[in-house]
């Protein structure tokens, strides 16, 4: 009699452990999906911001040193999230722009 109770108790405990592990696994997979979606959302926002900055500064033809630093920081985080080469080219174009203060000095020297 005790042997039957012991066997059923072990089965019950093993079933509880398996159910708990399954529950944790499903929660972790859902959490992982949420993190992945958040990562993709942040990457899209960074990409959008870099493109906006690119359009603005290419139009005016110069960039100030602070915004150049910000663009490079945005790009570094974009790249860390698995960003692509297209944005790399835009950032290279931004980095090639003359710095706003340097342009003013050049104009003043030529005047």
Distance separating alpha carbons of residues 86 and 56, to the nearest angstrom: 17
Both structure tokens of 85: 């080469």
Instruction: Tell me the per-residue pLDDT of 81-109, one tens digit each, with 9 for 90 and over.
Output: 998 888 999 999 999 999 987 555 555 55
Q: Which residues partner with 99 through β-bridges?
A: 63
The answer for residues whose C-beta is within 8 angstroms of residue 47's C-beta and 6 or more apart is 78, 83, 87
Instruction: Tell me the per-residue pLDDT of 6-65, one tens digit each, with 9 for 90 and over.
Output: 778 889 999 999 999 999 999 999 999 999 999 999 999 999 999 999 999 999 999 999
Closest CA to 57 of 42, 43, 44, 72: 72
Interior/surface letters 91-107, b for 16+ CB within 10 angstroms, e for the rest: beebeebeebeeeeeee
What's the predicted TM-score (pTM) here? 0.72
């Amino acid at each position: 009699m005790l042997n039957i109770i012991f066997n059923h108790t072990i089965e019950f405990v093993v079933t509880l452990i398996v159910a708990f592990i399954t529950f944790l696994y499903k929660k972790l997979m859902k959490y992982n999906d949420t993190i992945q979606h958040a990562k993709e959302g942040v990457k899209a926002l960074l990409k959008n911001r870099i493109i906006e900055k690119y359009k603005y500064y290419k139009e005016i033809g110069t960039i100030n040193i602070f915004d150049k630093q910000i663009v490079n920081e945005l790009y570094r985080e974009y790249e860390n999230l698995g960003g692509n080469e297209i944005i790399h080219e835009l950032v290279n174009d931004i980095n090639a722009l003359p710095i706003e203060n340097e342009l003013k000095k050049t104009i003043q020297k030529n005047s």
